[in-house]
Amino acid sequence: MTTTGRRRAERQAPPIAANGAQPIAPRHILDLDDFSRAEIELVLQNTDVMREVLRRDIKKVPTLRGKTVITLFYEASTRTRVSFEQAGKILSADVINVSGGGSSVEKGESLYNTALTLQAMNADIIVVRHPHSGAPHFLSRFLNSTVINAGDGMHAHPTQALLDMFTIKSHFGDIAGLKVVIVGDLLYSRVARSNLWGLTRMGADITLCAPPTLIPADFLGFLGDGAERNGGAVSAHPFSGVRIETNVERALADADVVMALRLQKERQQAGHLPTLREYSRLYGITPRRMALAKPGALVMHPGPMNEGIEIDPEVAHGAQAVIEEQVTNGVAVRMALLYASVSGQLAVGRQDS
Ligand code: CP
């Protein structure tokens, strides 16, 4: 083989894992349940580097030149869509945004056919938000492009959880041992589910707080008191140390981090809540309630917020709130993930520890 031919073959061959055993294939990012602690650490370290790029006067690096990222959003979004677009552009990728409205989806084209069409345009990464849980997983089964879940139904929002963890780590240095209280609509929250996977893997002490009607029934089988049940099967579950509290004052005591979740107003119509005013009175994060947490505890919210319902405006815009910081970190985390995906850092065959 000529030198040129050999170089071309090397370029086309899949990279080999460090142990030489398994070929490395691009890894879809669907949730954090299949992320090891080492992989989360890797993303958070990359995010630190990307934050430095964001602080430069000229925010542009050639890392993803020649790569194409398509954002495919079937559901409204401000933060996630814009931050993926910004992340891709800063890394010099070609970024194409497709939304349900204005595309052939309006003519009845299926998710499957839309995705095949986009893949035929040689997309390297397809970032998907969809109202139905499992839609990104469905796409990942037949697309060659890397699929990144940007939020699917009530299932998962892994990039949000990673930016939340980065924000926490940047304030405390370490996540392990911190008391993180997640308050709100646990039943429908994909943010809470992904944070549960990520934060437990990083060793946080998690308390979930919601009215009983907004606590998923399956959570009750695994969480709450750390008791040995079902012959130890419960205590072996990764969430067995997570506590459930229906009283917000008890939940917030000595918290290091308070994460309020968006109360999805449609839940009232579904009969889960008598009135939004009652929810706000019993569960809203107010200055008085924040005083129960540790001094300087962080206030987080994934956005968009219903100010005056799940969070008091004084808290949302107070000195302890890091809500806009979360948004900025969201750009850096998505840069880190795009880079890790394209470079093979996050790849099948590299799931150690
Ligand atoms: N946190 C979040 O997913 O916000 P958007 O819906 O604006 O993307």
pLDDT per residue as tens digits for the range 206-244: 999 999 999 988 877 666 554 545 555 556 678 888 999
pTM: 0.89
Task: Report which residue type is found at 174.
Answer: D
In the chain, which ranges are E strands?
Answer: 25-26, 68-73, 94-99, 125-130, 146-152, 179-183, 205-209, 243-245, 257-260, 298-300, 347-348
Cα-based torsion angle of the residue sequence 300, 301, 307, 309 in order, rounded to the nearest 10 degrees: -100
The count of structural domains within the chain is 2
Sites in the chain below the pLDDT cut of 70: 1-26, 221-236, 266-268, 347-353
State the pLDDT at residue 223.
Answer: 62
- The residue nearest atom 6 of ligand 1, judged by CA position, is 77
What count of residues does the chain have? 353
Residue 350 lies in a domain: no
- The residue nearest atom 3 of ligand 1, judged by CA position, is 80
Q: How far does the centroid of ligand 1 lie from the alpha carbon of residue 79, in Å?
A: 5
Q: How far does the centroid of ligand 1 lie from the alpha carbon of residue 5, in Å?
A: 47
Residue 190's domain is classified under what CATH number?
3.40.50.1370
Same domain, 195 and 318: yes
Residue 63: give the domain boundaries.
Answer: 11-157+330-345
DSSP symbol at 106: G
Same domain, 82 and 175: no
Please give the number of the atom of ligand 1 that sits closest to the Cα of 76: 6
From 72, 73, 74, 79, mutation site for ligand 1 pocket: most ligand atoms within 8 A of C-beta: 79
Same domain, 187 and 313: yes
- The residue nearest atom 5 of ligand 1, judged by CA position, is 77
Distance CA 115, CA 111 (A): 6
Residue 6 lies in a domain: no
Same domain, 145 and 168: no
